């Protein structure tokens, strides 16, 4: 190697060292990781994606307890206050719309609030039962008990129509000063919701089918 | 005569006292249920508005925690305390709906107390984190500049010394004379 080649080696080595030295300052201004999101899921009685109904039977009697677990994960890049709003829907009420990020118009039966740190996962037990329902071919569910609290509802199940428990994820928006269904991503609104179907049944109708 | 007069005054004073006391008694008997009703009503309404204030304090504390986090503060402890507040608020709300006023009052009071404390701590944390962030950035910049200058200087020095050594080594080579015998 002649002197010019050695010159090139020295200059390259200096440049590499300068870059390494400036890296800590540059790293502080690097853009954040990928798309921010939140995850909402429902798990069965053993904390897994199975055994959602007692004895795997979706026909729920009055007084029969159903145990689920609500799973939440925050990947929005910072701490967020969220609310999971639980609603009981029958066939006459529309479900949330993911395209327009519109919640269901049904009243809230139960609400879970939590502040989640960035990258935090949280599990919350959700036990519910039908407290009061009118009998006959059409079962009208009048009251649910959720985690020990009774809530009045009005949902009709019958003639092949099932009921569904819908879980909507609402995020507190600082600009609006209130909870909003979903979270903002650029100019768009993203949302997350879950639903589980079941039938409200009576002991007599269960016995007749069994 | 004076004693009679005194007796007269005493008896009239006594009569006045009796009149005043009995008036109060009558007032109390007739208006106490109304007062109790009003007090009772304002008690329940008071809990309702206290619940709203507690919720506002909770949201305000949450926003302060967010600000502290955005400037680099570790807010995990504050978040844990605010999650306790939400449980108090929930209990207070349920007790209020069930009419258990004393439980509602206790829960709301606790929620307000902790929310205010969290907000104060979040503001302090934010100020400390902002200061720490500025100092850290300044130190990093200064250190980086110093290291770049040292690197460049060492580079020039190293190149100068290497060049001298290289040329000296080159000059030390004896040229070989080849005799052409043709």
| Among B133, B111, B135, B117, CA closest to B65 | B117
Tokens 């919720």: give the residue: B55
Please say if the pLDDT value at position B8 is more than 50: yes
Average pLDDT over residues A132-141: 75
3-class SS string, chain B: CHHHHHHHHHHHHHHHHHHHHHHHHHHHHHHHHHHHHHHHHHHHHHHHHHHHHHHHHHHHHHHHHHHHHHCCCCCHHHHHHHHHHHHHHHHHHHHHHHCCHHHHHHHHHHHHHHHHHHHHHHHHHHHHHHHHHHHHHHHHHHHHHHHHHHHHHHHHHHHHHHHHHHHHHHHCCCCCCCCCCC
**Interchain contact, A24 vs B90, CB within 8 Å:** no
Percent of residues, chain B, with pLDDT higher than 70: 73
**Interchain contact, B66 vs A79, CB within 8 Å:** yes
At residue A27, the pLDDT reads 72
Q: Does any CB of chain B come closer than 8 Å to the CB of residue A83?
A: no
pLDDT: which is higher, B20 or A152 = A152
Q: CA A192, CA A179: separation in Å to the nearest integer?
A: 14
Question: Please, which pLDDT band fits residue A160 given cuts at 50, 70 and 90?
Answer: low
At residue A7, the pLDDT reads 84
How does pLDDT run across B146-166, given as a tens digit for each residue? 888 888 888 888 888 888 888
Please say if the pLDDT value at position B26 is more than 60: no
Q: What is the ipTM of this complex?
A: 0.82
Least confident among A120-134, B12-26, B33-47:
B33-47
CB pairs under 8 A between A and B: 62
Please say if the pLDDT value at position B178 is more than 90: no
Q: Around Cβ A43, how many Cβ atoms within 10 Å? A: 19
CA angle at residue A189 from B84 to A36, to 5 degrees? 65
Taking the whole predicted model, whether its pTM rises above 0.95 is answered as: no
Closest approach of B118 to chain A, Cα-based (Å): 13
How does pLDDT run across B74-111, given as a tens digit for each residue? 999 999 999 999 999 999 999 998 889 999 999 999 99
Nearest chain B residue to A19, by CA = B148
3-class SS string, chain A: CCHHHHHHHHHHHHHHHHHHHHHHHHHCCCCCCCCCEEEEEEECCCCCCCCCCHHHCCEEEECCCEEEEEEEEEECCCCEEEEEEEEEECCCCCCCECCCCECCCCCEEEEEEEEECCCCEEEEEEEEEEEEEECCCEEEEEEEEECCEEEEEEEEEECCECEEEEEEEEEEECCCCEEEEEEEECCEEECCEEEEEEEEECHHHHHHHC
At residue A29, the pLDDT reads 66
pLDDT: which is higher, B132 or B28 = B132
Percent of residues, chain A, with pLDDT higher than 90: 52
Closest approach of B53 to chain A, Cα-based (Å): 14
At residue A34, the pLDDT reads 76
At residue B91, the pLDDT reads 92
Nearest chain A residue to B154, by CA = A14
**Interchain contact, A113 vs B147, CB within 8 Å:** no
At residue A108, the pLDDT reads 94
Q: CA B60, CA B57: separation in Å to the nearest integer?
A: 5
At residue B76, the pLDDT reads 96
Q: CA A70, CA A196: separation in Å to the nearest integer?
A: 12
**Interchain contact, B166 vs A21, CB within 8 Å:** no
Question: Please, which pLDDT band fits residue A121 given cuts at 50, 70 and 90?
Answer: very high
At residue A158, the pLDDT reads 64
Q: CA A84, CA A98: separation in Å to the nearest integer?
A: 16
Please say if the pLDDT value at position A203 is more than 60: no
Please say if the pLDDT value at position B39 is more than 50: no
Look over chain B and give the mean of its residue pLDDT values, rounded to a whole number: 80
Q: Around Cβ B122, how many Cβ atoms within 10 Å? A: 26
Question: Please, which pLDDT band fits residue B57 given cuts at 50, 70 and 90?
Answer: very high
pLDDT: which is higher, A89 or B10 = A89
How does pLDDT run across A47-90, given as a tens digit for each residue? 889 899 998 988 888 899 999 999 999 999 999 999 999 999 98
Question: Please, which pLDDT band fits residue A95 given cuts at 50, 70 and 90?
Answer: very high
Nearest chain B residue to A79, by CA = B66
Q: CA B36, CA B68: separation in Å to the nearest integer?
A: 47
């Amino acid at each position: 190697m002649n002197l010019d080649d050695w010159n090139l080696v020295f200059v390259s080595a200096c440049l590499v060292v300068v870059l390494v030295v400036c890296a800590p300052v540059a790293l502080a201004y690097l853009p954040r990781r990928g798309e921010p999101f939140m995850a909402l899921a429902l798990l069965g009685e053993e904390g897994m994606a199975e055994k959602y109904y007692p004895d795997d039977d979706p026909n729920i009697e009055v007084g029969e307890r159903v145990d689920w677990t609500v799973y939440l994960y925050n990947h929005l890049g910072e701490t967020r206050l969220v609310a999971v709003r639980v609603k009981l829907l029958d066939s006459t009420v529309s479900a949330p719309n993911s395209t327009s990020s519109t919640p269901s118009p049904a009243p809230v039966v139960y609400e879970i609030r939590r502040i989640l740190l960035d990258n935090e996962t949280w599990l919350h037990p959700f036990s519910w039962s039908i407290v009061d329902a009118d009998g006959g071919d059409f079962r009208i569910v009048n009251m649910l008990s959720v985690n020990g609290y009774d809530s009045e509802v009005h949902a009709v199940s019958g003639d092949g129509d099932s009921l569904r428990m819908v879980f909507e994820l609402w995020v507190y928006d600082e600009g609006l000063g209130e909870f909003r269904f979903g979270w903002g991503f650029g100019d768009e609104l993203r949302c997350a919701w879950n639903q589980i179907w079941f039938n409200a049944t009576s002991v007599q109708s269960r016995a007749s089918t069994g | 005569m004076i004693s009679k007069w005194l007796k007269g005054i005493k008896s009239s004073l006594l009569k006045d006292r009796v009149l005043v006391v009995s008036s109060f008694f009558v007032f109390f008997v007739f208006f106490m249920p109304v007062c109790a009703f009003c007090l009772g009503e304002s008690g329940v309404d008071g809990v309702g508005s206290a619940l709203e204030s507690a919720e506002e304090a909770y949201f305000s504390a949450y926003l302060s925690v967010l600000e502290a986090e955005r400037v680099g503060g570790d807010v995990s402890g504050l978040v844990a305390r605010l999650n306790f507040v939400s449980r108090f608020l929930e209990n207070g709300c349920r007790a209020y709906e069930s009419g258990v006023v004393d439980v509602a009052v206790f829960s709301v009071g606790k929620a307000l107390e902790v929310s205010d404390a969290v907000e104060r701590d979040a503001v302090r944390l934010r100020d400390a984190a902002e200061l720490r962030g500025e100092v850290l950035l300044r130190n990093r910049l200064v250190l980086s500049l110093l290291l770049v200058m040292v690197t460049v200087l060492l580079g020039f020095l190293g190149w100068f010394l290497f060049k001298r050594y290289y040329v000296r080594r080159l000059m030390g080579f004896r040229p070989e004379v080849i005799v052409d015998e043709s």
